[in-house]
């Protein structure tokens, strides 16, 4: 079979060497309850005095940079005595910097299991992470008036470096501030409940479901604000039982690069690869970007979405754009499509349906959240959520070939051929199904035909939409869709996914309103048939203020799938003809090598190489075999992928002769033994005699 590209080979070598060395980056803060304030009854008098002074100044908004010296003394004491802080700093060697852009720098240096804090006018060289914020935002966080996650969402906090390190620094600051303010969160972390609400046998192909699961925490009793807690990657079977998980992961997008490994990104920081069989995790030098990522084995490069600005102000806020960036394994930028050049800001479009959202404190012009990359034709389809529009981009030139959607020039038709304003509203997770067909998740937000959806905390209907694009006639037409009938139960304010499965079903995720709107909703994974019947559904529920959020979902199987379409076996002539379809066990974004064999009574009579199609597009194969032995016992079809994972289908006879259950022999023995024993007994007692009297 064809050899893997050098990048993937390098990763597999690393994974094999480091099987026993899983990188639990954030182990000290995972699966723990919220931080309790440290009891200072036994603390030195100096520490108690500092604590009282800091609390008074933070409460009265009188905290200044001059108070940072006292804060560092107090924080170091808490770090030496708080059980969770000790767990975070143990065996951790890092330098992190809080860059307070209008004041100075606060250094976090962890070495020899101890934390050292320094407030200074200059920063140390080459920190592992730099967290940027204003002094007034720092005071809000120190006084427990807001969370760093909330400040990040509104654009008041940013970071450069690894997200896991930034989250640990945030956790330490939370411990310090809650101890100063005698504060307590109104939730209990770690409550998670999987409820399988549907599992109709025969209506779906059982497999495994992989998804990120990030805590959405309600941070006050009135449920007005939420914060992002710890994250995991979970793998469940078709019964909803967790069979594998990766802790300490905040990434929101996971895509397979081979049968056992997924690349993880979409939440800024750096991309990672997790092999869930060897339980090996490797961090790459490639930016993780936001919302979407892809890998191209032809060029051995990665593609991600990133953001960019150019000082352009609208309505008092800087306009933020999206870029599509391509990197090599060293993190070198090789190519970039820049919306600042190709899709300039247009305030009329931005405000057309009252969707003038902000994102991280910016005027969010695009909010692109997914793309599909045709690596053969070198074209990219980009989903621009805030414009309900899909762009087709020529990667070689960067030019937009066409725009299809609310702000495009294509006619939009529903499934009945009626012209409509948009195929979907605030859609997520665009995927290419091959040819001119696509599928996406329709959030149903800001749909003018549903007035209740036109506000941020409104109601509506979410679902899945498959459509085709006719470039010649400039039409986009719905060809299949499924929308839930319960508008509140299935309404997703953020996130969402829709994946076409090999058997024709569609698996999607309703990502709830917990993260953004602090609503106590479950995450719902729903698989529906082409007829619109729910075949499988799993709910991820929370409680006591802790709920969960998931952005994407991936289904995979133990082995490749094989479906025999037509089989003609002529035993007398010794010939076999097969027409079959096959799919790899994981959905990859590129074609991969496969091999098909025909085995007759243990002897290989046929072998051929082929390629599994990307995105679970069916691979159709024809097989012809002659000179079959007339006395053969079995015929076996084997389909193997490039990772050596094999699917065996016996289409004639049996590899092993039918075995008889051992219980049968026991039963038969008893049935024979009983009359023999009775006969012997009768002879001995003279009741039965042989011969003449």
- Could you count the other beta carbons within 10 Å of the beta carbon of residue 512? 29
For 593-604, what is each residue's pLDDT tens digit?
Answer: 999 999 999 999
Query: Given pLDDT bands bounded at 50, 70 and 90, which one contains residue 18?
Result: very low
On the question of pLDDT at 652 being above 60, the answer is: yes
Residue 224 clears pLDDT 70, i.e. is over it: no
Which DSSP string corresponds to 203-249?
Answer: SS---EEEEEEEEEEE-STT---EEEEEEEEEEE-TTS-EEEEE-S-
Within 13 Å of residue 564, how many CA atoms lie on the same side as its CB?
17
Residue-level pLDDT at 433: 95
- Is residue 289 over pLDDT 60? yes
Q: Are residues 195 and 173 part of one domain?
A: no
Say yes or no to pLDDT of 495 above 90.
Answer: no
CA distance 389 to 366: 10
CATH code assigned at 55: 3.30.1050.10
DSSP 357-399: -EETTEEES--EEEEEEETTTTEEEEEEGGGTEEEEEETTT--
Residues 632, 681 within the same domain: no
Angle, CA 335 vertex, CA 363 and CA 13 arms, to 5°:
115
Q: Mean pLDDT over residues 98-120, rounded?
A: 93
Q: What is the pLDDT of residues 232-264, one digit of tens each?
A: 899 999 999 999 999 888 899 999 999 999 999
- Res 519: pLDDT: 65
Structure confidence at residue 200 (pLDDT):
95
Q: How far apart are CA 273 and CA 254, in angstroms?
A: 9
Least confident of 103-112, 281-290, 356-365, 510-519: 510-519
- So what's the pLDDT on residue 211? 94
Taking only the tens place, the pLDDT of each residue in 361-373 is 789 999 999 999 9
Question: Tell me: the pLDDT tens digits for 320-357?
Answer: 999 999 999 999 999 999 999 999 999 999 988 766 66
Say if residue 643 is in the same domain as residue 674: no
Stated as kind and residue range, the H or E segment containing 85 is helix 83-89
pLDDT digits (tens, 9 = 90+) for 660-672: 455 544 555 555 5
Q: What is the pLDDT of residues 509-524, one digit of tens each?
A: 987 665 556 566 788 9
Of 4-13, 568-577, 588-597, the range with the lowest mean pLDDT is 4-13
Q: Within this chain, do residues 284 and 395 fall inside the same structural domain, yes or no?
A: yes
Tell me what the mean pLDDT of segment 44-66 comes to. 94
Mean pLDDT of 15-44: 50
124/173 same-domain check: yes
pLDDT for residue 359 is more than 90? no
| 202 in the same domain as 96 | no
Spacing of C-alpha 17 from chain mean position: 26
pLDDT given for residue 9 in this prediction: 43
pLDDT at 30: 32
Bridge-based pairing state of the strands 280-287 and 301-308: unpaired
Per-residue pLDDT, averaged over 159-180, amounts to 84
Boundaries of domain holding 639: 561-653
pLDDT at 689 over 60: no
Lowest-confidence pick of 11-15, 495-499, 515-519: 11-15
* Length of the chain counted residue by residue: 693
**In angstroms, rounded to a whole number, what is the distance separating the alpha carbons of residues 59 and 144?**
10
Question: What mean pLDDT comes out for the span 61-87?
Answer: 93
Any domain includes 1: no
CA distance linking residue 507 with residue 529, whole number of Å: 9
Instruction: Give the pLDDT confidence score for residue 453 in this predicted structure.
Output: 83
Residue 604 sits in a domain whose CATH number is 2.60.40.10
- Residue 539 shares a structural domain with residue 583: no
Choose the final residue of a domain: 181, 207, 242.
181
Mean pLDDT for the stretch of residues 468-472: 96
Last residue of a domain, one of 152, 181, 210: 181
Domain harbouring 511, CATH code? 2.130.10
CA nearest neighbour of 206 among 527, 655, 600: 527
Whether the CB-CB separation of 537 and 239 falls below 8 Å is answered with: no
> Of the candidates 493, 522, 556, which is a domain's last residue?
556
Task: Tell me the C-alpha distance between 676 and 287, whole Å.
Answer: 81
Residue 389 has pLDDT above 90, yes or no: yes
Number of compact structural domains in the chain = 4
Listed residue (328, 285, 281, 305) closest to 383, CA to CA = 305
Are 522 and 512 spatial neighbours (Cβ–Cβ below 8 Å)? Answer: yes
- Could you write out the DSSP letters of every residue in 425-453? SS-EEEEEEETTEEEEEE--TT-TTSGGG
Phi-psi region of 630 (alpha: psi -120 to 50; beta: other; left: phi over 0): alpha
């Amino acid at each position: 079979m064809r050899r893997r590209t050098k990048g993937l080979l390098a990763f597999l070598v690393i994974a094999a060497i480091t099987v026993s060395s899983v990188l639990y980056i954030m182990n000290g803060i995972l699966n723990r309850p919220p931080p309790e304030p440290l009891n200072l009854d036994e603390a030195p008098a100096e520490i108690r005095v500092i604590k009282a002074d800091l609390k008074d100044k933070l409460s009265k908004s009188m905290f200044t940079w001059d108070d940072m010296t006292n804060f560092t003394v107090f924080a170091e004491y808490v770090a030496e005595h708080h059980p969770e802080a000790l767990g975070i700093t143990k065996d951790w060697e890092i330098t992190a910097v809080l860059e307070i852009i209008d004041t100075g720098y606060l250094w976090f240096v962890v070495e020899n299991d101890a934390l050292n804090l320094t407030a200074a006018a200059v920063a140390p060289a080459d920190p592992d992470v730099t967290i940027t914020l204003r002094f007034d935002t720092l005071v809000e966080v120190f006084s427990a008036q807001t969370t760093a996650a909330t400040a990040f969402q509104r654009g008041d906090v940013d970071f450069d470096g690894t997200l896991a390190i930034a989250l640990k620094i945030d956790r330490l600051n939370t411990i310090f501030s809650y101890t100063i303010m005698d504060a307590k969160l109104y939730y209990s972390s770690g409550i998670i409940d999987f409820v399988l609400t549907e599992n109709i046998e025969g209506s779906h192909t059982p497999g495994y479901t992989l998804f990120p699961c990030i805590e959405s925490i309600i941070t006050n009793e009135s449920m007005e604000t939420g914060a992002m807690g710890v994250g995991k990657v979970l793998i469940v079977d078709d019964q909803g039982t967790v069979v594998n998980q990766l802790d300490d992961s905040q990434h929101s997008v996971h895509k397979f690069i081979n049968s056992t490994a997924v690349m993880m990104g979409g939440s800024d920081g750096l991309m990672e690869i997790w092999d869930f069989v060897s339980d090996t995790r490797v961090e790459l030098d490639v930016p993780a970007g936001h919302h979407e990522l892809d890998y191209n084995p032809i060029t051995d490069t990665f593609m991600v979405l990133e953001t960019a600005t150019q000082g352009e102000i609208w309505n008092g806020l800087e306009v933020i754009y999206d870029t599509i960036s391509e990197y090599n394994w060293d993190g070198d930028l090789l190519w970039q499509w820049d919306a600042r050049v190709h899709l300039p800001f247009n305030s009329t479009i931005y405000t057309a349906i009252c969707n003038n959202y902000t994102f991280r404190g910016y005027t969010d012009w695009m909010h692109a959240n997914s793309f599909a990359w045709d690596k053969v034709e070198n074209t990219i389809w980009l989903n621009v959520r805030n414009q309900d529009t899909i762009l087709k981009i020529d990667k070689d030139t960067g030019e937009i070939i066409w725009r299809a959607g609310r702000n495009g020039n294509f006619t939009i038709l529903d499934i009945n051929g009626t012209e409509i304003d948009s195929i979907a509203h605030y859609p997520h997770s665009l995927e290419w199904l091959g040819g001119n067909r696509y599928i996406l998740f329709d959030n149903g937000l800001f749909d003018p035909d549903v007035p209740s959806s036109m506000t941020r905390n409104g109601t509506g209907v979410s679902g899945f939409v498959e459509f085709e694009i006719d470039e010649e006639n400039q039409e986009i037409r719905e060809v299949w869709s499924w929308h839930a009938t319960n508008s509140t139960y299935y309404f997703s304010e953020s996130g969402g996914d829709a994946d076409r499965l090999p058997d024709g079903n569609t698996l999607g995720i309703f990502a709830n309103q917990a993260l953004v709107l602090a609503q106590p909703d479950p995450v719902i994974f729903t698989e529906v048939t082409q007829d619109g019947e729910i075949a499988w559904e799993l709910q991820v529920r929370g409680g006591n203020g802790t709920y969960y959020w998931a952005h994407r979902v991936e289904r995979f199987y133990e082995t490749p799938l094989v479906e025999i379409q037509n089989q003609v076996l002529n035993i007398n002539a010794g010939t076999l003809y097969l027409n079959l379809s096959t799919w790899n066990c994981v959905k990859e974004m590129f074609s991969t090598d496969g091999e098909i064999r025909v085995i007759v009574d243990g002897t290989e009579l046929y072998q051929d190489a082929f390629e599994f199609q990307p995105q679970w597009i069916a691979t159709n194969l024809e097989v012809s075999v002659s000179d079959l032995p007339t006395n053969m016992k079995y015929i076996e079809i084997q389909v193997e992928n490039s990772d050596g994972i094999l699917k065996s289908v016996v289409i004639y006879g049996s590899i092993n002769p039918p075995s008889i259950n051992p219980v049968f022999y026991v039963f038969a023995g008893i049935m024979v033994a009983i009359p023999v024993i009775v006969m012997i007994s009768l002879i001995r007692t003279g009741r039965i005699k042989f011969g003449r009297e």
